[in-house]
Homo-oligomer: A and B are copies of this chain.
Amino acid sequence: MTSPSATQDRYPYQNDPIWSRSEKTVARAAFDAALKRELQEVMQEAKQMANQINEPADLWDLEHHLTQRRKEIDRKYDYRYSQLTHVFGRLLHEQRLREEDLLGLQEDKRKLIRSFATFLSQDAA
């Protein structure tokens, strides 16, 4: 009854794309590079804020900023294949990734990613 192709279609979430091995390699590299850049950015921010500390309130501003950035990064960089098109869409919208970084992903995925990036840009406008 269930042909091999029907089995393949029984992917748990009907709308989730399947990631091939080569796509996973591209995705991992793009994800890691964006995360690394964002962490570098937070390191620079922290150094700058610390240099400009003049009074106690500045200290707790720095603490608060680091806590916020940590939580934001934890939420944003979610490497589950079910989440990756959203993750990449957001990174594209935030200009933390360029479309070229996603070459090697199938066009259906890149379309989803661009579409989510466009949605976020419109939403922010």
Contact = CB atoms under 8 A, between A and B. Distances in A.
B39 A43 contact: no
A105 B49 CA distance: 41
Contact of A50 (B51, B56, B70): B51
Interface stretch (A12-20, A60-68, A80-88, A107-115): A60-68
A36 to B, nearest CB: 9
19 contacts: A39-B56, A39-B59, A42-B56, A42-B59, A43-B56, A43-B58, A46-B50, A46-B53, A46-B59, A46-B62, A47-B50, A47-B51, A47-B53, A49-B50, A59-B66, A59-B70, A60-B70, A63-B70, A66-B66
Interface residues of A, number: 18
